[in-house]
Structure 1
Amino acid sequence: MGKRNVKLAFAASLAAMMMLSACSGNSGNGGNGNGNAASNGGNASSGNAANAGNAGGDANPLGKYDPPIDLSTFRCMNDAETYPPGDSIDKNVWYTAYQEELGINVTNKWTVSTTQCEEKTNLSIVSGDLPDFFPVDTKQLKNLVDAGMVEDMTEVFDKYASPLVKEAYAANNGVATTAATFDGKLMAIPGTTRGLNNVDMVWIREDWRKKLNLPEPKTMDDLLNIIKAFVDQDPDGDGKKDTIGLTMGKNFYDGYAGLAGFFNAFHAYPYTSASTSMWIQDKDGKLVYGGIQPEMKPALQALQDLYKAGAIDPQFVVYDGAKAAEAENQGKAGVHFGYFWNIGWPIDGMAKKNDPSIEWKPYPVPSVDGTPAMVQVPDPTAFWNFAVKKGTKHPEAIVKMMNLFFEHIFSDNAEPEKYHSGTVDGKSYGYFDYAAVQGEHPEKNQIAFRKVSEAMKSGDASGLNPEQKKYYDALKKYQEGDLTQWGGDRTWGPEGSFSVLENYKDNNLIKINEFLGAPTNTMATKGSILMDLESKMITKIILGDPVDSFDQYVQTWKQSGGDQITQEVNDWYAKNHQ
């Protein structure tokens, strides 16, 4: 989902009180390409900082500078970003908190649209016109490290990071810091992590399934039959053959209406996002790219069969996420693969109030055979890393800003309505997106789900923090008949999306990319070419090319840089897994 759609999701989810925890821009390409990451910290100029002795030398994670210090950054923001009256990207709740709580004056050197972010950042790197701290992707960070332009943050992080931040970054064997680590040194502070929440599940029009007396999708055959029936058996009851079985868009690895979960059902693991390829171990322990393995072929055959059966909109080849969602919003489509937040967008979490008969239900990805399907995780390292310019007087200040974000968003003292999302004069705002430094606790949502579930069973909500209490209250209201809380039930309830994620985790059904490093040299130069090659292959086979043409694609992929990338990936793996 593109960043614009992420904001729409937050607006819907706020109304349903069910998605306050999704601080990062959920992965995917929705309508505008790879518009991931939450607000992207930014640039300004190196301020006249206090001397090193006043750098919070007591190592207090939230120690305040006295006198205050100045830090510069730059920001890459969505064009559709909105602010409460009187606020802006230069003046908002987070910049005020930096001043009042930490004694840090943050100045934005420049602000650009997310569509211009990569180019503008690259120009700043090449010219050396860098602020004190700034967001970079893993490729940009590698270039900065190679050029000796950024601070080694290893000791600074160890000394100043709060226990909560350290806990979050140590989760899942510390994968969040992997891409920011070079030769054992932490060269940036990881920002918004992709986490383990961003995996596919199957969203189904449950009222249609029940109306047609179809079994729940325990197997892939069950699901394929549901998809076809939603086209052939008039599930909306209008007497016309005008419904779509499987919603798809042109972005095959999106967080909404993508195909990663479909391929996973066949034990195939292609790209995880627009920029990250999925690497798995072969029988000899070597890393291989999942998208060129033979398991792809039966999945491609199944997609072609669905297309021939009229179960896929022929216009999918030109649809972005927003366009693909129109059929569902109009009540004309019944199945898609996507992430937990799809109940906030494109499914309207308030829709049941207007139409009590409607019902969407998320299911785990089923398997094509007797082996349970494992769902692939988009790179669980950071979308963005916050790099600190070499020579910046107070590198520890960036760590303190991360500590503050975690304190106000994730701690037991969190104030989500002030710092995460809120409503002013009936209009919703995502305050989290204004923060110049931000991260995510990869297990936070699942912890909240477990605690809320326990509270619902016991009736005792005394152990819930303010955010969790909101989810609890939403579920209680839904149980009492408040249909405006349907979105909360579909997220945090016993049949909600987090119950699906819990199923994956309880049964070890999550497959993590084995390559977590910065893009290799050949990835940087040829990765986009290879992905485009794959996308065209998938499209052509769905539309009718022989499935065996996949074999020629594999050979072309290898000869066009794939073999070299495979060697580089295995070199990295050998170096980091000794």
Structure 2
Amino acid sequence: MGKMNKFLTGAVVLSSALLLAACGGSSDKKETKKDADGNIVMTVGQQTQPNSKLPKGDSYANNAYRRLIKKELGVDIKSAFEANGDDYTRQVSLAIASGDIPDVMAVSHDEMVELANNDLIADLSDVYKKYASDNIKDIYKSFDNVQIDSAKIDGKIMALPGTANDFGPNLVWFRQDWLDNLGIKLDPDGNHAITLDELESTAKAFKEKDAGGNGKTQGLALANYLTSDSHGSSGYTATAIFNSFGAYPKNYLKGDDGKLVYGSNTEQAKEGLTYVKHLFDEGLLDSQFGTRTYDDINAMMINGELGIIPGPWHISDWALVQAKTANPKATFTPYAIESKDGKVNGVSKPGVGGYVVVSKKFAHPEKVVSCKMKCIKK
């Protein structure tokens, strides 16, 4: 998903906030930017997807959502930059480095902290208290305020956090049409989980028999950061493999002795690394592992070079659908990976998504924080 974590949470928070935005103004921190029609101009860092699913004629720059916001709230949303995946992260980094950030953008927790430390984003505490709707406050309360508390620095609310459910264990998606063509039947007990042996044997069959029919079929391709600490950024990772060994890299865990343990430094994590090396030594892991970017691997999946795709439950909507578009015959079936004792492991974490930050220079932060429904009622 990996790259969808920011996209989903940022889009949801931003759209909810703007659709419920305040009617009133605030004391300007600089001259308000307006377009030729007198609408307040709000620049955003726009996260995009290769397959946008927008109606014909619409674009990220001009779509029903932006037109509604302009009509109802007098806010003209303009993209300061548009980017997808790793490119979006790079654009955010460049904006932070230059000190010239958009009025609004979705960022990670670390990026939020960096922005706050550099005094580039607004303290939203008072704006949130005054303008946030009861509905949005109730949403945060339903999570025991985990998200809103995570957005605080020195007691100040420095961003609007996204919410996320517990997405369960990471999965591995197989090209079902390839399995059918090769006569491979997985999951004989029907529990929707497979073993590492089944994963390995299928990767070997796909590669040796060139299941993609293009002479480029790979067994597996994994992102060079290998694992994710949650469902976010878990697309194209070995997270499910490590979890099957009882390893939870990049997570802090409580050990049997009650002391804190870093999940990347456990014996189980070493077993996971050893197994990934085994896949590489056997030629089943992409020989260019380490240099392939996330976007490279995504392109390989679309082009029919990969038939085994690790990722969260919703990867089908924002990634696998691209392969389906390129090849209508492509179908995918997801499985969890079970441990030696037949269990499926995963990490359950509080539902904190990305963070929507507001530039300290933006004159109308209340337009980002929700307010009264009457602003959009006829």
What TM-score does the superposition give when structure 1 sets the normalisation length?
0.47
After superposition, the Cα gap between the structure-2 partners of 1:214 and 1:313, relative to the gap in structure 1 and judged at 3 Å, is same
After superposition, the Cα gap between the structure-2 partners of 1:64 and 1:283, relative to the gap in structure 1 and judged at 3 Å, is same
Matches of 2:122 and 2:115 in 1, distance apart? 10
Matches of 2:163 and 2:320 in 1, distance apart? 23
CA deviations over 1:437-482 (Å, ceiling 9, x no partner): xxxxxxxxxxxxxxxxxxxxxxxxxxxxxxxxxxxxxxxxxxxxxx
Alignment partner of 2:314: what SS? helix
CA contact (8 A) 2:176 2:333 kept: yes
Letter aligned with residue 257 of structure 1? Y
- Paired residue for 2:145, among 148, 164, 174? 174
- Paired residue for 2:68, among 97, 112, 119? 97
Matches of 2:246 and 2:167 in 1, distance apart? 19
Letter aligned with residue 224 of structure 2? K
User: Which residue does the alignment assign to 1:205?
Assistant: 175
Q: Tell me whether 1:365 sits opposite 2:365 in the alignment.
A: no
CA deviations over 1:264-310 (Å, ceiling 9, x no partner): 11121124xxxxxx222233444332111221122122223333333
User: Which residue does the alignment assign to 1:252?
Assistant: 226
- Paired residue for 2:7, among 6, 25, 31? 25
CA deviations over 1:489-511 (Å, ceiling 9, x no partner): xxxxxxxxxxxxxxxxxxxxxxx
- Paired residue for 2:308, among 335, 345, 348? 335
Letter aligned with residue 288 of structure 1? V
* 1:370 shift after superposition: 5.0
CA contact (8 A) 1:247 1:312 kept: yes
* 1:361 shift after superposition: 0.9
Matches of 2:307 and 2:58 in 1, distance apart? 43
User: Which residue does the alignment assign to 1:186?
Assistant: 157
User: Which residue does the alignment assign to 2:23?
Assistant: 64
User: Which residue does the alignment assign to 2:352?
Assistant: 381
After superposition, the Cα gap between the structure-2 partners of 1:327 and 1:189, relative to the gap in structure 1 and judged at 3 Å, is closer
Matches of 2:355 and 2:299 in 1, distance apart? 31
CA deviations over 1:207-266 (Å, ceiling 9, x no partner): 555623444486987332342244248667899998544342434244432111211111
After superposition, the Cα gap between the structure-2 partners of 1:403 and 1:336, relative to the gap in structure 1 and judged at 3 Å, is farther
* 1:374 shift after superposition: 1.6
* 1:202 shift after superposition: 1.5
After superposition, the Cα gap between the structure-2 partners of 1:299 and 1:186, relative to the gap in structure 1 and judged at 3 Å, is same
- Paired residue for 2:287, among 303, 310, 314? 314
User: Which residue does the alignment assign to 2:93?
Assistant: 118
Displaced runs of 4+ in structure 1, greater than 6 A?
66-70, 79-84, 233-242, 401-404
Q: Which has the higher helix share?
A: 1
After superposition, the Cα gap between the structure-2 partners of 1:156 and 1:307, relative to the gap in structure 1 and judged at 3 Å, is same
User: Which residue does the alignment assign to 1:541?
Assistant: none
Alignment of 1:10-49 (within 5 A): 24-25=6-7, 38=11
* 1:347 shift after superposition: 5.2
Which structure 1 segments of 5+ residues have no match?
7-21, 27-35, 42-59, 272-277, 409-578
After superposition, the Cα gap between the structure-2 partners of 1:63 and 1:199, relative to the gap in structure 1 and judged at 3 Å, is same
CA deviations over 1:158-195 (Å, ceiling 9, x no partner): 443234423433344333223311344423222x4565
CA contact (8 A) 2:122 2:359 kept: yes
Alignment partner of 1:383: what SS? strand
CA contact (8 A) 1:198 1:255 kept: no
After superposition, the Cα gap between the structure-2 partners of 1:239 and 1:85, relative to the gap in structure 1 and judged at 3 Å, is closer
CA contact (8 A) 2:21 2:366 kept: no
Q: Tell me whether 1:265 sits opposite 2:244 in the alignment.
A: yes
After superposition, the Cα gap between the structure-2 partners of 1:71 and 1:224, relative to the gap in structure 1 and judged at 3 Å, is farther
After superposition, the Cα gap between the structure-2 partners of 1:71 and 1:367, relative to the gap in structure 1 and judged at 3 Å, is farther
Matches of 1:351 and 1:80 in 2, distance apart? 14
Which structure 2 segments of 5+ residues have no match?
27-33, 228-232
CA deviations over 1:402-421 (Å, ceiling 9, x no partner): 989xx99xxxxxxxxxxxxx
Alignment of 1:481-492 (within 5 A): none
Matches of 1:182 and 1:238 in 2, distance apart? 50
- Paired residue for 1:75, among 36, 44, 58? 44
Q: Tell me whether 1:157 sits opposite 2:157 in the alignment.
A: no
Letter aligned with residue 320 of structure 1? T
What TM-score does the superposition give when structure 2 sets the normalisation length?
0.68
Q: Tell me whether 1:225 sits opposite 2:195 in the alignment.
A: no
CA contact (8 A) 1:199 1:339 kept: yes
CA contact (8 A) 1:243 1:332 kept: yes
Overall identity of the aligned pairs, in %: 22
After superposition, the Cα gap between the structure-2 partners of 1:380 and 1:332, relative to the gap in structure 1 and judged at 3 Å, is same
CA contact (8 A) 1:188 1:387 kept: yes
CA contact (8 A) 2:121 2:358 kept: yes
After superposition, the Cα gap between the structure-2 partners of 1:402 and 1:245, relative to the gap in structure 1 and judged at 3 Å, is farther
CA deviations over 1:93-115 (Å, ceiling 9, x no partner): 4444334323x434659547633
Letter aligned with residue 92 of structure 2? C
Matches of 1:237 and 1:146 in 2, distance apart? 51
After superposition, the Cα gap between the structure-2 partners of 1:244 and 1:375, relative to the gap in structure 1 and judged at 3 Å, is farther
User: Which residue does the alignment assign to 2:230?
Assistant: none
Letter aligned with residue 306 of structure 1? L
Letter aligned with residue 242 of structure 2? F
* 1:380 shift after superposition: 4.2
CA contact (8 A) 2:173 2:308 kept: yes
User: Which residue does the alignment assign to 1:481?
Assistant: none
After superposition, the Cα gap between the structure-2 partners of 1:394 and 1:302, relative to the gap in structure 1 and judged at 3 Å, is closer
Count of residues paired in the alignment: 345
Matches of 1:239 and 1:385 in 2, distance apart? 44
Matches of 1:92 and 1:403 in 2, distance apart? 22
Matches of 1:372 and 1:39 in 2, distance apart? 30
CA contact (8 A) 1:251 1:320 kept: no
- Paired residue for 1:295, among 259, 262, 268? 268
Alignment of 1:369-448 (within 5 A): 369=341, 371-375=343-347, 380-387=351-358, 389=360, 394-400=364-370
User: Which residue does the alignment assign to 2:278?
Assistant: 305
